[in-house]
Structure 1
Amino acid sequence: MSVLTAVVVLLAAVCALQLLLTIGVIRRLREHTAALAGLSQSPASLGVGDEVGEFSAVTVDGEPVERDSITGDTLVAFFTPGCGPCEKRLPEFVSYAGSSLGRRDRAIAVVVAAELSDADAYVEALRPVARVFVQDSDGALCRAFQVTAFPTVVMVAPERDGRVMITADRIRLDQPASVPA
Structure 2
Amino acid sequence: MPFLSALVLGVGVLCLIDLVLTVGVIRRLRTHEEMLAARPGVSPPIVLPPGATIGAFSAVSTDGVHVSAETLTAPALVGVFSPDCPACGDRLPQFAERARSYPGGRGSVLAVLVGTEEEVAAQRRALEPVALVLVEEYGTGVTKALRVQGFPSLALLDGHGRVLASGSTLADLDVLPASA
TM-score (norm 1): 0.74
Give the count of matched residue pairs. 156
> Structure 1 105/34 Cα, relative in aligned 2: closer, same or farther at 3 Å?
same
> Structure 1 100/59 Cα, relative in aligned 2: closer, same or farther at 3 Å?
closer
Q: Match of 2:45, as an amino acid?
A: P
Q: Match of 1:138, as an amino acid?
A: G
Identify the residue that residue 71 of structure 1 maps to in structure 2. Answer: 73
Identify the residue that residue 153 of structure 2 maps to in structure 1. Answer: 152
TM-score (norm 2): 0.74
How many Å separate the matches in 2 of 1:40 and 1:32? 13
Q: Conserved in 1, the CA contact under 8 Å of 2:153 and 2:167?
A: no
Query: What whole-Å deviation, never above 9, does each CA across 1:153-174 have from its counterpart, x for those lacking one?
Result: 110013xxxx411001147637
Identify the residue that residue 165 of structure 1 maps to in structure 2. Answer: 162
Q: Conserved in 2, the CA contact under 8 Å of 1:52 and 1:145?
A: yes
Identify the residue that residue 96 of structure 1 maps to in structure 2. Answer: 98
Deviation at 1:39, TM superposition (A): 7.3
> Structure 1 39/149 Cα, relative in aligned 2: closer, same or farther at 3 Å?
farther
Alignment of 1:102-181 (within 5 A): 103-113=105-115, 115-158=116-159, 163-170=160-167, 173=170
Q: Match of 2:120, as an amino acid?
A: A
> Structure 1 32/169 Cα, relative in aligned 2: closer, same or farther at 3 Å?
same
- Structure 1: unaligned runs, 5 residues or longer: 1-16
Please identify, of 69-78 and 28-37, the stretch whose mean Cα deviation from structure 2 is larger. Answer: 28-37
Identify the residue that residue 40 of structure 1 maps to in structure 2. Answer: 42
Q: Which runs of 4+ in 1 moved over 4 A?
A: 20-23, 35-39
Q: Aligned with 1:78: secondary structure?
A: strand
Deviation at 1:34, TM superposition (A): 3.5
Q: Aligned with 1:47: secondary structure?
A: coil
> Structure 1 165/102 Cα, relative in aligned 2: closer, same or farther at 3 Å?
closer
- Structure 2: unaligned runs, 5 residues or longer: 1-18, 175-180
- Alignment identity in percent? 31
Q: Conserved in 1, the CA contact under 8 Å of 2:154 and 2:170?
A: no
How many Å separate the matches in 2 of 1:41 and 1:51? 20
How many Å separate the matches in 1 of 2:70 and 2:158? 10
Q: Conserved in 2, the CA contact under 8 Å of 1:155 and 1:171?
A: no
How many Å separate the matches in 2 of 1:46 and 1:38? 17
How many Å separate the matches in 1 of 2:104 and 2:59? 23
Identify the residue that residue 25 of structure 1 maps to in structure 2. Answer: 27
How many Å separate the matches in 1 of 2:140 and 2:38? 29
More helix per residue: 1 or 2?
Answer: 1
